[in-house]
């Protein structure tokens, strides 16, 4: 197999309280209570060239944090991020410039991800001016026109403001902005969450077309497993800042191995399997406020034993190529 495009190596991220100087804006409270949030606790993951890696998991498990680390909006506390075998997590703003061209992002909220006071032309030109500094006015104009056409918008969209477009059209503009620097990797953080089913189909189709056309790699974060099943090449399941299972799409959906993956898959309402009863997870909702000692899923896992509370399970490659971090799978214990 060829070298992966992106590798996360033992990535950790802890959010701490900001400086306490902002006291007048808070309600009275004891200072020491401000928590540390352990958002990522050692992520090992790689993204291969040309694939679509979908990341799924509960709210607050660190998906967006992972994405923000990769694009350089946050810095990791521990571990490293490699892009094309070069370490990129500690770069300064100017050193990062060549990588910005290669990694772009599309956001969840189509209503907040475009500056309401800039026309579509201005939005797209900004990116082009930074990364193709030498271009002439006519070159830029022509490029923007082609770009808009390639995402299914017409030239007269140029001089309009974002609020004149519908949600799906705005996501197209976001995608055009990301594509304008001709990136290799596009990170999409729940790009469909605010859209209707029918509009979701339009945006997904567009993303697939672009992938075929330009050989893009996607890191796709979503809650919608139906989309995952359709769109992903591989899937990474996250739980509380750790990756618990990584597998090919087919493998994951046919034979989920990690207990959390199994619960997750059974809980989605699905049209093709109407009588499937969801597995209900019992136990406390997880908190990223303490660093977990053993498996982060242990207090909700039906298969947990003593070892799970004490030892962190590592990702182990299974016979079918999937990677699972679970003691029970390793020991061969299964669901009753």
Ligand X SMILES: Nc1ncnc2c1ncn2[C@@H]1O[C@H](COP(=O)(O)OP(=O)(O)OP(=O)(O)O)[C@@H](O)[C@H]1O
Check the CA dihedral 176-178-181-182 and report its sign: negative
Helix 137-150 and helix 120-131, axial crossing angle in degrees, nearest 10: 120
- Footprint on residues 10-29 left by ligand X (CB under 6 A): 15
Binding residue (CB under 6 A) for ligand X from 63, 170, 177, 234: 63
Residue closer to another protein, measured from CB, 179 or 324: 179
Of 88-96, 148-156, 187-195, 291-299, which part binds ligand SF4 (CB under 6 A)?
Answer: 291-299
By CB under 6 A, name the one of 6, 61, 203, 329 that touches ligand X: 61
Judged by CB under 6 A, does residue 61 bind ligand SF4?
A: no
Could you tell me the smallest distance in angstroms from the CB atom of residue 39 to Mg ion? 11
Residue from the set 153, 308, 315, 323 that interacts with ligand SF4 by CB under 6 A: 308
Work out whether 313 is an interface residue with ligand X (CB under 6 A).
Answer: no
Interaction between residue 286 and ligand SF4 (CB under 6 A): no
- Rounded Cα distance, 50 and 273, in Å: 31
Return the range that interacts with ligand SF4 (CB under 6 A); candidates 187-195, 198-206, 217-225, 301-309.
Answer: 301-309
- Which lies closer to another protein via its Cβ, residue 31 or residue 138? 31
Contact flag: residue 113 with Mg ion (CB under 5 A): no
327 binds ligand SF4 (CB under 6 A): yes
Torsion (CA) 286, 264, 58, 189 in degrees, nearest 10: 160
CB 123 within 8 A of CB 107: no
What are the distances in angstroms from CA 319 to CA 83, 105, 332?
28, 34, 13
User: Which of these, 166, 130, 172, lies nearest to 150 by C-alpha position?
Assistant: 172
Type and span of the H or E element at 13: strand 6-15
Asked whether 286 and 296 are in contact (CB, 8 A), the reply is yes
Cβ at position 335, least distance to ligand SF4 in Å = 10
- Contact present, 123 and 115 (Cβ < 8 Å): yes
Q: Binding of ligand X at residue 162 (CB under 6 A)?
A: no
Q: Mask: binding to Mg ion, 47-76, rule CB under 5 A, as x and -?
A: -----------------x------------
The single residue among 2, 19, 31, 59 that binds ligand X, judged by CB under 6 A, is: 59
Minimum CB–partner distance for residue 20 and ligand X (Å): 15
**Alpha helices (H) in the chain, listed in sequence order:** 63-71, 93-100, 120-131, 137-150, 167-179, 197-214, 225-231, 249-254, 259-267, 306-310, 327-331
Binding of ligand SF4 by 243 (CB under 6 A)? no
Check the CA dihedral 97-101-102-108 and report its sign: positive
C-alpha separations of 74 from 7, 37, 81, 99, 143 in Å = 16, 14, 12, 15, 31
Among 4, 162, 288, 292, the residue binding ligand X under the rule CB under 6 A is: 288
Nearer of residues 64 and 322 to Mg ion, judged by Cβ = 64
What does residue 60 show for φ and ψ, rounded to 5 degrees?
Answer: 80, 10
Binding site for ligand SF4 (CB under 6 A): 258-259, 295, 297-298, 301, 303-304, 308, 313, 326-328
Binding site for ligand X (CB under 6 A): 15, 37, 39, 59-65, 288
């Amino acid at each position: 197999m060829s070298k992966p495009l992106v590798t996360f190596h033992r990535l950790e991220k802890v959010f701490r309280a900001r400086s306490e100087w902002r006291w007048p804006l808070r309600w009275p409270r004891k200072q020491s209570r401000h928590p540390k949030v352990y958002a990522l606790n050692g992520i090992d993951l790689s993204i291969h060239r040309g694939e679509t890696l979908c990341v799924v998991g509960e709210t607050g498990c660190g998906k967006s944090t992972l994405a923000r680390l990769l694009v350089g909006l946050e810095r990791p506390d521990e571990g490293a991020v490699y892009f094309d075998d070069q370490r990129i997590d500690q770069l300064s703003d100017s050193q990062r410039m060549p990588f910005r061209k290669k990694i772009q992002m599309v956001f969840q909220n189509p209503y907040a991800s475009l500056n309401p006071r800039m026309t579509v032309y201005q939005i797209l030109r900004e990116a082009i001016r930074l990364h193709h500094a030498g271009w002439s006015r006519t070159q830029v104009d022509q490029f923007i026109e082609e770009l808009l056409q390639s995402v299914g918008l017409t030239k007269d969209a140029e001089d309009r403001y974002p609020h004149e477009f519908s949600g799906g059209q705005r996501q197209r503009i976001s995608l055009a902005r990301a594509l304008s620097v001709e990136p290799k990797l596009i990170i999409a953080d729940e790009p469909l969450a605010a859209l209707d089913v029918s509009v979701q189909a339009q945006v997904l189709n567009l993303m697939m077309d672009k992938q075929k056309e330009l050989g893009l790699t996607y890191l796709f974060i979503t809650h919608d497993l139906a989309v995952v099943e359709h769109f992903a090449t591989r899937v990474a399941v996250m739980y509380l800042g750790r990756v618990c299972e990584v597998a090919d799409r087919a493998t994951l959906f046919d034979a989920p191995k990690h207990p959390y993956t199994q619960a997750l898959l059974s809980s989605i309402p699905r049209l093709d399997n109407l009588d499937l009863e969801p597995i209900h997870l019992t136990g406390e909702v997880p908190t990223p406020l303490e660093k977990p000692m053993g498996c982060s899923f242990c207090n909700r896992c039906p298969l947990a034993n003593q070892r799970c509370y004490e030892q962190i399970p590592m990702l182990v490659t299974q016979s079918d190529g999937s990677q699972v971090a679970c003691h029970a799978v390793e020991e061969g214990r299964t669901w009753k």
